[in-house]
Structure 1
Amino acid sequence: MDGLYALKPWYARRLSGVRAALARRGVSPDALTAAGVGCAALAAAALAWLPAPLAALPVAVLLAARLAFANLDGALARDTGRTTRRGALLNELGDRAADLVVLAGFLALAAPWLVALAALAATLPSWVSLAGAAAGAPRLNGGPVGKTERCLLVVLAAATGWAVPVLAVLAAGSALTALVRLGRLWGELA
């Protein structure tokens, strides 16, 4: 059950021209990671400050850019032979920071405890995947509510103003995703 993550190879192929142009210009993969976090912060600001449905377009565009940067940073590093352990660390920290920053935009729209619960739940799938990788299993991605689905849920909230229901679905779906990944890893490591 990979969810929208199954589209990653297709999406990566669509970004190959962009990757080639970035490589020719000598752009750092770490700069792309930082740009992804910046797009997440701008999406959070649009979510917090613009009313629904006016927030939908800027949030969607900024989160699409955030996902593109998340795809491009590692691919560019591999394409240019600039993969490093520090870059891998920065990539993981950037992904987690971008997730949390986007959800911070909900602080203007919902109770802080619900935003905190959704933020904690949104990090669970990655914690499970990283723990599995540390134990020697392959790194798992995707699931019922992975990174891409979380971004779509945020766009839904921006379009409709349904912050509380979206946060509840995001929290429950992220917890389910963590459990699905844990089950797969449990079997993998048996």
Structure 2
Amino acid sequence: MPSIYAVKPAFQNLLRPLVTKLARLGVTANQVTIAALILSSTTGLLQMFADAHAAVFLSLPLVLFLRMALNAIDGMLAREHGMKSPLGAILNELGDVISDTVLYLPFALLPGVYGWLVVLLVITAILSEMTGVIALQIGASRRYDGPMGKSDRAFVFGAAGLALGFDIKPDTWLNGVIALMLALTLFTIINRARQALKEIA
């Protein structure tokens, strides 16, 4: 299934000169992973304060883009500059799940938004990432199949944050978007499991 993840190789090519400079400066992959987690956690906490929500939500697309860039950078440092480690693998997977949780759960606090729907989406997003990791346990590759993977969620939530930042009130439209994302995430879980089984067959 199509996913924004498909553009990752081109995005990595743009980042490669920066990654090389960071490696020469002694920056490690794990440091970048932790930086992405701190950025996400700080933004998520700020989103919880109603007084600052307009400005914070307006910055959400930039934060999500920076997080995506940092995620690509830590992977390239690990693979291309000899920084792979068991700790790095743990930090990478846990960091993604924690970042998704702290960035998206605050949407449940918005007036007019069905909080339970956001919570269900966050839970299924975690399950979709677990499904991708479980593929490794059965001898397949880490699955990143769509249609609602990490990059796709970031794009949709970034667009929603932009709308909220411009004072478009969260209403039926946002509940509809979240419900659609939930359905696509459930399909993503099935698709990743199916593709993993197909790969080992």
Same fold (TM over 0.5): yes
What CA distance in whole angstroms lies between the structure 1 residues aligned with 2:41 and 2:176?
A: 22
Aligned partner (choices 174, 177, 182) of residue 188 of structure 2:
177
- Deviation (angstroms), 1:85: 1.2
CA distance in 2, matches of 1:176, 1:35: 31
Task: For residue 60 of structure 1, report the CA deviation from its aligned partner.
Answer: 0.6
Query: What does residue 157 of structure 1 align with?
Result: 160
* SS class of match (2:139): coil
- Secondary structure of the 1:12 match is helix
Structure 1 residues 86 and 55, CA gap change in structure 2 (3 angstroms): closer
Q: In structure 1, how many angstroms separate the alpha carbons of the residues matched to 2:177 and 2:56?
A: 15
Q: Show the counterpart of 1:39.
A: 39
Name 2:74's counterpart in structure 1: 73
Partner amino acid, structure 1, of 2:116: W
C-alpha distance in structure 1 between counterparts of 2:38 and 2:24, whole Å: 23
**Per-residue deviation, 1:46:** 5.4
Q: Quote the RMSD (CA, aligned, Å).
A: 1.9
Match of 1:22 in 2: 22
Contact 1:104-1:115 within 8 A present in 2 as well: yes
Distance 1:35 1:9 in 2: 22
When the two structures are superposed, what TM-score results if normalisation uses the length of structure 2?
A: 0.85
Rounded Cα–Cα distance in structure 2 between residues aligned with 1:51 and 1:40: 15
Question: Please, which runs of 5 or more residues in structure 1 have no aligned partner?
Answer: none
Give the alignment partner of residue 117 of structure 1, picking from 108, 115, 120: 120
Q: Which amino acid aligns with 2:85?
A: T
With normalisation by structure 1, the TM-score equals 0.90
Kindly, what percent of the aligned residue pairs are identical? Answer: 31
2:167 aligned partner: none
Q: Deviations over 1:77-122 (max 9, x none)?
A: 2222121111111111111111111112213213432222011111
Q: Quote how far apart the aligned CAs of 1:165 are.
A: 2.4
**Offset of 1:58 from its aligned partner?**
0.6
Contact 1:55 1:159 in 2 (8 A): no
Question: Hey, what's the Cα distance between the residues in 1 that align with 2:58 and 2:109?
Answer: 18
Deviations 1:147-183 (CA, angstroms, capped at 9, x unpaired)? 1110111122213344422322222111111111112
1:42-96, CA deviations, whole angstroms, 9 ceiling, x for partnerless residues?
44345444556x5554101100001111111121122221211111111111111
Pair 1:146-2:149 in alignment: yes
